[in-house]
Structure 1
Amino acid sequence: MKRLTDHLIVISFDCLSALDLPVIKQLPHFQALLQRGALAQQVQTIYPSITYPCHATIVTGRLPNRHGITSNTLLQPGRSSPDWHWHRRDVQGTTLYDEARKAGLTTAALLWPVTAKADIDYNMPEIFANRPWHNQILVSLLNGSPLYQWELNRLFGHLRNGLSQPELDDFVLASTVHTIQTKKPNLLLVHFTDLDTQRHLHGFSSEEAMAALRRHDERLGAITNALQQSGLYDHSTLVALGDHSALDEAIAIKVNVLLRKHGLLSVNTKGKLRHWDAYCQSCDGSAYIHVKKKDTATLQTLQKLLESLLQDPESGIEQMLTGAEAEKRGADGTCAFLLEAKQGYYFLEDYEGAYLRENTAGDMDRKKYTRATHGYSPEKPDYSTIVMAAGRGIQPGTIPFIRLIDEGPTFARLLGLDLGDTDGRAVEELLQQ
């Protein structure tokens, strides 16, 4: 298959929404990219629409139930901070970076989700120090390219403030520019989370979120400039995309509180989870209900409870899918049920306190009590993301609609690669023939 470009740079601006188009069209570097390239105005995300399943979909062209990353986190009931799907081994089937390596192309990835211990030439994976005895830099070094990451931390580590934003993305930007200039990869995957963080903490249209969009415009400009200075600009394709949108919310739903009341999970005298027959795993705007054993009594109790919540207009629950119905939507078909929250609501895994908990201005735990979130069904209104691309192999213009599952096959086509049996298609309308 013919390669259409020598260098593909994919920039993921986490939580970039189709609703952001009027804003970014006024920002100089996004404006320049749009003027010389192509735009898909509406990109339908996947279900559940959270970061790790989305990014696995982008590089595989498959739905979550086929690539295996059906949630951000592992099912670890009772853990206050569950581990995430950090490792490449969790992804089923091939990926864009796997196929690029097979073809002899040089690959690089900076904080791209689900790439820990992936076969990537220059890899700084997104992985957290999730144990008290873990060191963040050491955990990253052990799960990516050690010498490459050591160099980046030596040169740019002073820009970081742990995982805080916008400092983390400033570090990622400096690392990206350095990688372009010194490594000249054929495939570069970059993940920026500043916008997503600000929307979670402050709300979808907050000034903090708008400031993050302006910072992202400057980051896009710096990357474009790096391509020009390194001599790659005329031989490269630059893609800027989002993985999902977000919706403002104010009330947390804690289904595990009700499961506890109905005897489906129990805690000890210290409030620690002791036993569970059923458990609600949050995907923010949606949630899986898992059962240890799909016995008739447990399923009947669960279904009766959940149906009563569906009938209650104050429950915050909009829809309930069976495992089979979830499978048809591309989600985890092994769940007993999949719940969708109404707009304004989202799910937590807590099993203490009240079933509903309204956010207040004084909330200190901002990881839990957020102002906007995602994870909802892609069928929610005004909930699309976008993709922009310019450079080698790209046909300038605007197309109204594609799906997130189409991006991987399209990127593979640009590099002359084949991702095999995907759920999406290469969007030929975006490509120069």
Structure 2
Amino acid sequence: MTRLTDHLLVLSFDCLSSLDLPMLETLPHFQELLDKAAICRQVETIYPSVTYPCHTSIVTGNFPNRHGVVTNTLLQPNRPSPDWYWHRRHIKGTTLYDEAKQAGLSTAALLWPVTAKAKIDYHMPEIFANRPWHHQIAVSFMNGSKRYQLEMNRKFGHQRKGIAQPELDDFVTASTVHTIQTKKPNLMLVHLVDLDTQRHHHGFSSEEAHAAIQRHDRRLGEILSALKESGIYEQTTIVALGDHSSLDHSRAVKLNVLLKESGLIQLNGRGMVKDWQAYCKSNDGSAYIYVKDEQAKDRVRALLHSLVVNEDNGIEFVLEGPEAGLRGADEQAAFMVEARRGFYFTEHVDGEPIDVIIAEDVAAGKYTHASHGYSPGKEEYSTVFMATGKGIRQNVEIEHMRLVDEGPTFARLLGLDLGKTDGKVVEGILKSK
């Protein structure tokens, strides 16, 4: 298959929403990107719309139930901090970076989710120390390119403060600039999280979120300058995209409290889960309910249908596992529930079934002010896609596309094939060779 570009740079601005476009159009470096870009203002995300499944869908072209990364974190009810789907081994089938590597193209990935231990040439994985005896830098080194990460930390490590934002994205941007200048990879995947962090902590339209978008504009400018200075700007396709949007909420729904009260969750003396017959696995704006037997399933079904009739309980709809599968989510869950606007789900087993969120709880890390994970069908909940450069038609607007269409489109640009995917190539933005 013919390659349409020499270099593909994908910049994922986590939590970038369609509603952000008016602001982006006023910022100098996003203006430069948009000036001749192919754009889709309404990109349909996946279900559940959380970061790890989203980024896996981007590089596979498949929905979560097919690629296997069905949520952010593993089902580990007994752990206070469950592990995430950090590793490449969790993905079923091939990925864009696998196919690029096999075709002899050079690859780079900086904090791209679900890539730990992947075969990527210049690789800084998104993974964090999740045990008291782990050290962040050591964990990163063991799961990515050791020499490359050592060089990036030696040069730019002074800019970061662990995994805190906005310092982490500044470190990633400096590493991206250096990698462009010195490595010139054919495929580069970069994940920036500042905006998502600020929206969780402060709310969708907060001053902190707007400041993060302005910082992203500066970061984009540094990356565009690096492409020009390195002499590969004209040979590069530049893509800026979001993975999901976000919604504000004021109430936390704790279904595990009700499952505990129903005798379906048992706690130990420290208030932690000792055993369970049914468990609510949160995706923030949605949640899976897993059960261990049919009796528990019948009891949970009755409970959920008694809750959904009252809007104050915060549940918009209930799906059976097969119905969730039809939407691309995990059909292995007994049920999937969607939160109403203003609500989100947590996995807490203590307190009341519904909590009013106060600033002190957010500051303490118990709750957040805004979240994602909701159904793609929610109003004003789409994300965006912008592409410019080699292989891309200028000033084209696509009315609608899906997150799963991005991977096949990227593969076509690089002359690769992801095989049979849920998504399809967005032909309308591509130049013919």
TM-score by length of 1: 0.99
User: How far 1:423 moved relative to its partner?
Assistant: 0.4
Question: What are the within-5 Å matches in structure 2 for residues 33-432 of structure 1?
Answer: 33-293=33-293, 295=294, 297-363=295-361, 365-396=363-394, 397-432=396-431
Q: Distance in 2 between matches of 1:106 and 1:198?
A: 33
The answer as to whether partners of 2:282 and 2:347 remain within 8 angstroms in 1 is yes
Equivalent pairs, count: 431
User: How far 1:265 moved relative to its partner?
Assistant: 0.7
What is aligned with 2:23? 23
Letter in 2 for 1:355: P
User: How far 1:367 moved relative to its partner?
Assistant: 3.6
User: How far 1:361 moved relative to its partner?
Assistant: 2.1
User: How far 1:264 moved relative to its partner?
Assistant: 0.4
Instruction: Tell me the secondary structure at the aligned position of residue 343 of structure 2.
Output: strand
Instruction: Tell me the secondary structure at the aligned position of residue 36 of structure 1.
Output: coil
RMSD over aligned CA atoms reads 0.8
User: How far 1:366 moved relative to its partner?
Assistant: 4.8
The answer as to whether partners of 1:12 and 1:240 remain within 8 angstroms in 2 is yes
Give unmatched runs, 5+ long, in structure 1.
none
Instruction: Tell me the secondary structure at the aligned position of residue 363 of structure 1.
Output: helix
Q: Distance in 1 between matches of 2:365 and 2:140?
A: 22
Q: Distance in 2 between matches of 1:90 and 1:275?
A: 25
User: How far 1:317 moved relative to its partner?
Assistant: 0.5
Instruction: Tell me the secondary structure at the aligned position of residue 35 of structure 2.
Output: helix
Letter in 2 for 1:373: S
Letter in 2 for 1:354: E
Q: Distance in 2 between matches of 1:261 and 1:254?
A: 12
Q: Distance in 2 between matches of 1:212 and 1:272?
A: 36
- Residues 342 and 364 of structure 1: CA distance in aligned 2, closer, same or farther (over 3 Å): closer
Which deviations, in whole Å up to 9, do the C-alpha atoms of 1:10-41 show, x marking residues without a partner? 00000000000111011111111111211111
Q: Distance in 2 between matches of 1:361 and 1:272?
A: 25
The answer as to whether partners of 2:11 and 2:190 remain within 8 angstroms in 1 is yes
Tell me whether 360-369 or 318-327 shows the greater mean CA deviation.
360-369
User: How far 1:274 moved relative to its partner?
Assistant: 1.3
Which deviations, in whole Å up to 9, do the C-alpha atoms of 1:207-259 show, x marking residues without a partner? 10000000001111111000000001011010000000000111100000000
User: How far 1:78 moved relative to its partner?
Assistant: 2.8
The answer as to whether partners of 2:201 and 2:362 remain within 8 angstroms in 1 is no
The answer as to whether partners of 1:348 and 1:368 remain within 8 angstroms in 2 is no
Which deviations, in whole Å up to 9, do the C-alpha atoms of 1:133-181 show, x marking residues without a partner? 0000000000000000000000000000111110000000000000001
Tell me whether 269-278 or 23-32 shows the greater mean CA deviation.
269-278
Q: Distance in 2 between matches of 1:335 and 1:199?
A: 29
Q: Distance in 2 between matches of 1:324 and 1:124?
A: 37
Letter in 2 for 1:351: V
- Residues 325 and 217 of structure 1: CA distance in aligned 2, closer, same or farther (over 3 Å): same
The answer as to whether partners of 1:38 and 1:388 remain within 8 angstroms in 2 is yes
Instruction: Tell me the secondary structure at the aligned position of residue 129 of structure 1.
Output: coil
- Residues 366 and 378 of structure 1: CA distance in aligned 2, closer, same or farther (over 3 Å): farther
Q: Distance in 2 between matches of 1:197 and 1:268?
A: 33
User: How far 1:398 moved relative to its partner?
Assistant: 1.1
User: How far 1:313 moved relative to its partner?
Assistant: 1.9
TM-score by length of 2: 0.99
User: How far 1:272 moved relative to its partner?
Assistant: 1.9
Letter in 2 for 1:302: V
Letter in 1 for 2:212: A
The answer as to whether partners of 1:201 and 1:366 remain within 8 angstroms in 2 is no
Instruction: Tell me the secondary structure at the aligned position of residue 311 of structure 1.
Output: coil
User: How far 1:311 moved relative to its partner?
Assistant: 1.1
Which deviations, in whole Å up to 9, do the C-alpha atoms of 1:67-104 show, x marking residues without a partner? 00000000001322110000000000000000000100
Q: Distance in 2 between matches of 1:361 and 1:391?
A: 44
Q: Distance in 2 between matches of 1:350 and 1:364?
A: 14
Q: Distance in 2 between matches of 1:144 and 1:368?
A: 31
Instruction: Tell me the secondary structure at the aligned position of residue 151 of structure 1.
Output: helix
User: How far 1:364 moved relative to its partner?
Assistant: 5.2
Letter in 2 for 1:210: H
Letter in 1 for 2:400: F
User: How far 1:365 moved relative to its partner?
Assistant: 4.9
Q: Distance in 2 between matches of 1:2 and 1:344?
A: 48
Runs of 4 or more consecutive aligned structure 1 residues displaced over 6 Å after TM superposition:
none
User: How far 1:300 moved relative to its partner?
Assistant: 1.3
User: How far 1:299 moved relative to its partner?
Assistant: 1.4
Give unmatched runs, 5+ long, in structure 2.
none
